[in-house]
Every structure is written in C-alpha cells, then in structure tokens.
Amino acid sequence: MKKLALVIAVAAVAVAGCDSGNDKPAAQAPAPSSNAEVSYAADTNDAGTVARAETSNDALDAEAAKAFLDSAQERLETMSEEVSHASWLASTYINVDSQFTEALAVERYTALAVELAQEAAKFDDVDLDPETRRMLTMLKQGLVFPAPNDPELTAELAQIGSKMQGMYGAGKYCPEQKTKDAEKGKCYTLTEMGQMMANSRDPKLLKDLWVGWRKVSPPMKPLYERQVEIGNAGAKELGYDNLSVMWRSKYDMPADAFAADMDNQWNKVKPLYEALHCHVRARLNEHYGDDVAPATGKIPAHLLGNMWAQEWGNIYDIVKDDDMEAPYDLTQLVVDSGMSEQDMVKVGEKFFTSLGFKPLPETFWERSQFVQPRDRDVVCHASAWNLDGKDDIRIKMCINKTGEDLITVHHELGHNFYQRIYNHQPFLYKEGANDGFHEAVGDTIALSITPKYLKEIGLMEEIPGADKDLGYLMQQALDKIAFLPFGLLVDKWRWQVFNGEVPPGDYNKAWWKLREEYQGIQAPVARSEANFDPGAKYHIPGNTPYARYFLARIQQFQFHRALCEAAGETGPLHRCSIFKNDAAGKKLRNMLAMGASKPWPDAMEALTGQRELDASAIVDYFEPLMVYLQEQNKGRDCGW
Ligand code: X8Z
Ligand code: ZN
C-alpha cells in the first residue's frame, strides 16, 4: 500500500478527534499495571523511605509514560488529519501551491513526531508493562524519514519529499521518433506508457519508452542524496545506527534477524523463480529472436510487459504453449461486461461485504479518485487512504479497464477495509500487524478471483475444466513469482544506501548489480551514474518501504491457505474461492481488527495457527506449474 506516502513518511495513519487524555495529570491516568505496584508493596517494609521514594518514583514514571502516550497520540492524531488532507490535495492536484501546503503540514508533523519520539526515549530505563513499552517503541519508530531536531532540516526534508513526489507524478515522456504505436510530438503519462509496455510487441518502441521514462529521475538524484543524509541524522538522534537499522526494526525482531528471514524466504522460492525465468527467456527468444532476446544470460528488461519488469503477466501470450488456453482473460471479461471504473470498485467491495465487512461509506464514493483527470497532473500510483482515522477512507487510482487494474482495485480495497476495521484501536495501533500484512489483505482476496467465483458474479458463463489449470497457474506465476526478487531487492538497495555501503557515486551501479543478480535481467541500453534508475520507481521518490511487498507475496498464500481451510475447501488451492464464506470472513475480520495491537506473530497465529512466515504455501500453490516448468526446461541451460 501506499497509505499516502507522506503520512507513511511521517507516522502511523491519519486519525482525528480522539476524546481525551491530553492534559490528564499522571494521577488520573489509568492505573499502571502490575510491575510498579507489586514492587511498591514488596519494598515498603524495612527499606523505609528510600525504597518507598524509589518505587513510588517508578510508579510515577509508569503513570507518566501512560499519560504521555495518551497526550502524544491525541496530538499526532489531530495533526495527522491535517497532513492527510494537504497530502491528498498535493497528490490529486500537483502544483506549487499544493506542494507548499503539503510540505508545511509534513514539516509540522515531522517536528512533532520527532519531539515525541525523543520524549519517548526518556522512558527507556523505566520499568514498564509490556503494552506501554510496546507503544513507546512504536512511537519511536513511527517515522519513515525522521528529521533531526532542527527546524531548518525538518523543513528541508519535508520540501524534498513533496518535490520528488511531484516530479514523479507529473513525469511524462514525449518520444522523438514516430513508431507504429506512438505518435511523435505527443507526450505520454506513465499510465499511458504502462499500457503500451503491456501491449506492444515492438521492441524498438518498448526500448524507447523504457529509456524515455527514466529521464524523469536524474534530477531527483541530488534531492535523494540529501534526503538520505538528513534522514540518517534523524535516525541517529533516535538511537539507531542509521535508517537501514531503523527500517528493519519494525518487525518485532532484531533488524538483522529480519533481513536474514527475508533471505531465508527468498531461498525457498528461488528454484521456482529460476525455473520461470528459464522458461520465459526461452519463449522470448522464440518470439523475438537472438538479436532482441538472447537465449542465454540476462533477460533485457524492456521485454517483460512492465516498466520495471516486476510483474510479467502481460506477456502471457508470448509465454504460453499453443494449447495452454487460460481459463479466462480478465481484461476481456472486464471489457465485455461493459463495466465502468466505478463498477470495478463495486465488484471489489462486493467481495469484502460477502465476508461480513461493512459496505464502504458514501464519502468513499464521493471523494475517491478512480480515473485520471484530463486537465491536471496527479500521482497516479494506486494508493488507499484513511484521512481521519475513522471512516474517511478513499482510494486514489487512475484505473484502466484491465484485469491487472481489477486486481489492483482489490489490493487497494484491502487497505481500506483493514483501516476501517481497526479504527477503534488507539492511534498507534491503527496499523497493520506489520506493513506486509497491510499489503497482503487485498491480494489474498484477489487469489479468490477464480473461474468459479467469476461465474458466480456473472462475469463468466462456464467453469472451465481442469485442463485449463496450468494456464491459470502460469498467469498467476508471471505476476506472483516473477515479482519476488524485485520485491526483495528494492530495499536491499536502500538498506545499502542508508548504511553507507553504497555511496552516491555508485547509486545506479549498485541498483543494476542487484537487478542483475536477483532478477537475472539487464538494462536494454548502457547505464551510468548520470542515470538514477531507482528514482523511476514510485516508492523511491515516494519514500515507501518495499520489503512489505515481498513479505506480502509470501503471506498472502499462507492467508489464502488458512482461509480456504476455514471455508472447508479441500480441492487445490488455486481453485479455492472464499467468496461469501462466513467462517473465512470471520477469521479474517477478527485478525484484521487487531490492527497493530499485538506483535505480528500473534496476528499470524490468529489467522493461520502459525507464528512464522512460511513459504510452503506459495510453493505448494504452484507445485503443478513447477512440474511443468521442470519438464519444459529439460535440456535448457538455465540460470544467468
Ligand atoms: O505499490 C503498490 C500498490 C500500492 S501499495 C499499488 N504495489 C507495489 C508496486 O506497484 O510496485 C503493489 C505491488 C507492488
Ligand atoms: Zn498496497
């Protein structure tokens, strides 16, 4: 998700109008939990006044911590609502005024959040109950890019954020050559270029668009460099070695253990990726020939149907066997049904309400952005927002009538339904169990968009036979499996940048090293440090951490498996749909309502019975495809 980057960038989620707690004196705060009281009682006898004073100080500190948290949450809640509205404007009307307003709001919010985070650190040595300790820790970790305690740097950081976001959102490319599919003199938005990357099979145009879009980012490089510098200084003031450590510390385990778990999960799914890569490369070679798509080595990044080569579902037609008919073409179904962009969102809403979620509020329909406005620049990258921490939920998209966007609609709605179902939690817990959970909800639902489901909602007439399953799995793998190394490497790059391992002079080189190593792809033209290719991916200028998407790809299959079990489905996982299933709905709703109130393994356990990430679910789901790929790859020289 991108819960508005800037709110993500500064803290939890936007909320408003909490009831009380601000100036509550410590004595009126809720009673501190056991620790302080027990030790007070135990120490009163002969230790006399000293012990009494010490323990009562402890008790006072515990109470002070709670009072502080009450007040901090109320202040953040109020101010985050202000930031949300300013950021919504800046994302839906990109101009100097909206950017100015947003930067000012972010600056104020960041200053407050930093002040409170530093205040929270004063309780580090106080003996506190686990709940209070957890909240204080979350308060310290709430910022994505903390500023140091310096008004000028805080303002500079906020301005850089708004500026880069605006540069990305307003980015366009105007081809210099006329080609079959592109006109000379016309300027294309990223959304339009994305469609052309998906549908064109003209390698010349694909390369031109690939190179052209990346002209948006070199001017961002000095800004990014500075942003990292200031953010690192902010992280240090909060007690972290650097931003890399801070970013990796948000998963209820030590930072290095988190990075190790990511690698561990990757190693489990890597054979699947390597098999897919090998097969796709062979098919591209058959389609384009040696000059454009060599049979060995790394795949040229412009041929995979996506601007970043992160999901490959758009080249299904090139990859499939002649007789590998997919059970459906989702884009065709959307187009044939004649549905509008808003209807696509209604389809998504219906799935959630079938699981017992409350329908979306009227304001959602009034305030969301579904289509790209014709007369102004907006940030088209899909996102889901909760502006007031209650019911002012919205999505912001530039929807195309495609299967890909129907899935993205479900993804975004997953964020909104999650945000709404935990909106009774205190401010600091109005978050996903971790950010991977947030990204996984809508995707989990979308795994239930099976032929059986599509027939049930009237989009398909017949449920195809099992002979179409392989085509379905191939389509799914081209998106889900192809994404995994990309999901992993984006933050590997940022972590190296943050901890200084990669200096600014090597930004682009390090990016391509990771792209080549993990994805086995390569740039279609020579790159240098005059380019800043990471900046051409939304989440870099948008400051949205990316490890969450990798986690979500693993988790969503775990969630899907558990929900299908709850629904009593016994067939293959790829044929299971939980549409209208009460038991599955209840399980999902209960877990989501926890928000971030418990460490994520508790939430995972509530839904799946497991306390850990488990890649076996995704591996099992694709097992029949893996058998097919291994057969196909016999005699091929796989790897890169
Ligand atoms: O950014 C997104 C969502 C919004 S949170 C559309 N995604 C990542 C991306 O587009 O790069 C979803 C999949 C990965
Ligand atoms: Zn998302």
Tens digits of per-residue pLDDT, 328-351? 899 999 999 999 999 999 999 999
**Is residue 416 within 6 Å of ligand 1 at its C-beta?**
no
**pTM metric for this prediction:** 0.91
Please compute the mean of the pLDDT values over residues 302-329 and round it to a whole number: 94
Pocket test for ligand 1, best of 408, 484, 554 (most atoms within 8 A of CB): 408
Proportion of the chain in helix, strand, coil states, percent, rounded to 5: 60, 5, 35
Nearest CA to ligand 1 atom 2: 1
Check if 486 has its Cβ closer than 6 Å to any atom of ligand 1.
no
In this prediction, residue 175 carries a pLDDT of 84
Verify whether ligand 1 is closer than 6 Å to residue 423 (CB atom): no
- Measured at the CA of 168, the angle between CA 167 and CA 170, to 5 degrees, comes to 65
Ligand 1 nearest-atom number relative to CA 2: 5
Spatial separation of the C-alpha atoms in residues 239 and 236, rounded to whole Å: 5
Considering the chain, what is the average pLDDT of its residues?
90
CA-closest candidate to residue 591, choices 354, 413, 428, 432:
432
State whether the beta carbon of 492 lies less than 6 angstroms from ligand 1.
Answer: no
Is the pLDDT reported for residue 10 higher than 70?
A: no
Ligand 1 close to Cβ of residue 407 (< 6 A): no
Please write the tens of the pLDDT for every residue from 260-306. 999 999 999 999 999 999 999 999 999 999 999 999 999 999 999 99
How far is CA 619 from each of CA 142, 273, 440, rounded to the nearest angstrom? 34, 11, 17
Atom 4 of ligand 1, residue of closest alpha carbon = 1
State in Å: Cα 443 to ligand 1 middle.
11
Q: Which atom of ligand 1 lies nearest, measured to the CA of 538?
A: 11
Q: Give the C-alpha distances (Å, rounded to integers) separating 32 from 24, 70, 123, 130.
A: 14, 13, 14, 11
Over residues 400-411, mean pLDDT: 97
Supply the pLDDT for residue 58.
Answer: 57
pLDDT score of 33 more than 50? no
What confidence score (pLDDT) does residue 564 get? 98
| Interval between CA 179 and ligand 2 midpoint (Å) | 34
Distance 383 CA to ligand 2 centre (A): 6
Tell me the ligand closest to 437's alpha carbon. 2
pLDDT, tens digit (0-9, with 9 covering 90-100), for 64-99: 999 999 999 999 999 999 999 999 999 999 999 999
Distance 147 CA to ligand 1 centre (A): 26
Q: Is the CB of 2 under 6 A from ligand 1?
A: yes
Ligand 1 contacts CB of residue 540 (under 6 A): no
Residue 326: the pLDDT is 85
Cβ of 490 less than 6 Å from ligand 1: no
Higher per-residue pLDDT: 9 or 529: 529
Q: How far is the CA of 423 from the centre of ligand 1 (A)?
A: 23
Burial of 22 (0-12, 13-18, 19+ CB in 10 A): middle
The answer, yes or no, to whether any atom of ligand 1 lies below 6 A from the CB of 250, is: no
Beta carbon of 380 within 6 Å of any ligand 1 atom: no
Reply yes or no on whether the pLDDT at 29 is more than 60: no
Query: By three-state DSSP, how is residue 213 classified?
Result: helix
Q: How far apart are CA 72 and CA 588, in angstroms?
A: 30
Asked if the model's pLDDT at residue 533 lies above 60, the reply is yes
Q: Give the distance (Å) from ligand 2 centre to CA of residue 1.
A: 2
Q: What is the pLDDT of residues 234-247, one digit of tens each?
A: 999 999 999 999 99
Q: What is the pLDDT of residue 57?
A: 53
Does residue 587 carry a pLDDT above 60? yes
Q: Out of 8, 416, 549, 555, give the residue to mutate to test ligand 1, the one with the largest number of ligand atoms within 8 Å of its CB.
A: 549
Q: What is the mean pLDDT of residues 356-368?
A: 98
Q: Residue 229: pLDDT above 60?
A: yes
Q: How far is the CA of 34 from the centre of ligand 2 (A)?
A: 39
**pLDDT of the residue at 59:** 59
Q: How far is the centre of ligand 1, averaged over its atoms, from the C-alpha of 1 (Å)?
A: 6
Q: Which atom of ligand 1 is nearest to the CA of 415?
A: 5
Residue to mutate (ligand 1; options 380, 439, 548; most atoms within 8 A of CB): 439
382 C-alpha to ligand 1 centroid (Å): 7
Closest CA to ligand 1's atom 5 = 1
Residues of the chain above pLDDT 70, percent: 90
Which ranges of 567-615 would DSSP assign to H, the alpha helix?
A: 582-593, 600-608
Assess whether the C-beta atom of 549 lies below 6 angstroms from ligand 1: yes
Rounded Cα distance, 26 and 61, in Å: 9
Indicate if the pLDDT at residue 50 is higher than 70: no
pLDDT of residue 60: 59
Residue 538: nearest ligand to its CA?
1
Q: Which amino acid is at 394?
A: R
Q: Rounded to an integer, what distance in angstroms lies between the CA atom of residue 92 and that of residue 377?
A: 7
Which atom of ligand 1 lies nearest, measured to the CA of 382?
A: 6
Of 212, 157, 220, 154, the residue nearest 179 (C-alpha): 212
Cα–Cα distance for residue pair 15/79, rounded to 1 Å: 8
Mutate to test the pocket of ligand 1, among 411, 444, 519 (most ligand atoms within 8 A of CB): 411
Cα–Cα distances in Å, from 8 out to 146, 207, 393, 431? 11, 33, 15, 10
Q: Is the CB of 1 under 6 A from ligand 1?
A: yes
Looking at residue 179, what is its pLDDT? 67
Task: From the CA of 537, give the closest atom in ligand 1.
Answer: 11
Q: For 170-187, what is each residue's pLDDT tens digit?
A: 999 998 777 666 676 789
Name which residue sits closest to atom 6 of ligand 1, judged by CA: 382
pLDDT at 183: 72
* pLDDT surpasses 50 at 456: yes
Please report which ligand is nearest the Cα atom of 413.
2
- On the question of pLDDT at 374 being above 60, the answer is yes
Burial (CB < 10 A; 0-12, 13-18, 19+), residue 191, is middle
Q: What is the pLDDT of residues 198-218, one digit of tens each?
A: 999 999 999 999 999 999 999
Q: Work out the end-to-end distance of the chain between its first and last CA atoms, rounded to an integer number of angstroms.
A: 32
